Amino acid sequence: MSKIILALSTFLVFNSGYQVAGVFLPNEELLFSMTIQETSVKKIVKRIEKVNMYVVTPMNSKNISDQERNYVDLLRTASIEELTQLAADHKNAVVRLYAFRALMESVKDAPKHIFEQFMNDTTPIKVINETRSETKPLNSIAKGFLY
């Protein structure tokens, strides 16, 4: 078993829009002790818009899509108020959908007007599920976030 030598000071590594604090290990791998969000909600929304599709990541998948990373960033970075605003008013349906998903995961109960909006929204969304691509109405995807 090799000894782990930890540096007394942390260093910053920039990786895919994240600022990450960590320490060097003898084998030159990084041990990440914490993730510090550098990305603003606006930047995350732009990344979601750019992909402009809902990407389903299988439960036990080791490969997480860029869009799923964008979703996790949104979930960690945006306040409940920001998620509510994005879900209710954003012009891009995919952004609205990811904001609704994050809102439902955060508070478990969306405001009634947003819930009704999503149940009535039939905007077509491109969905990628592993190797399959299809178009579905937004409300059929949003129903999957309710529990």
Q: What is the pLDDT of residue 130?
A: 78
**Where is average pLDDT lowest: 12-26, 58-72, 86-100?**
12-26
| Both structure tokens of 19 | 């600022």
Which residues sit opposite 11 in a β-bridge?
Answer: 22
Q: For the CA atoms of the chain, what is the radius of gyration? A: 18
- E-only strand ranges, 1-147: 11-15, 18-24, 30-36, 54-56, 124-129, 132-137
Q: Is the pLDDT confidence value at 13 over 70?
A: no
The 3 state secondary structure assigned to 97-121 is HHHHHHHHHHHCCCCHHHHHHHHHC
CB atoms within 10 A of CB 142: 23
Percent of the chain with pLDDT over 90: 56
Measured CA angle at 111 (ends 105, 113), to 5 deg: 130
**Where is average pLDDT lowest: 22-31, 41-50, 94-103?**
22-31
pTM above 0.85, yes or no: no
Residue boundaries of the structural domains of the chain? 1-38, 41-145
Q: What is the pLDDT of residue 147?
A: 64
| Mean pLDDT across the chain | 76
Q: Which amino acid is at 4?
A: I
Q: How confident is the model at residue 8 (pLDDT cuts 50, 70, 90)?
A: very low
- For residue range 67-105, what is the model confidence (pLDDT) as tens digits? 999 999 999 999 999 999 999 999 999 999 999 999 999
Q: Is the pLDDT confidence value at 120 over 90?
A: yes
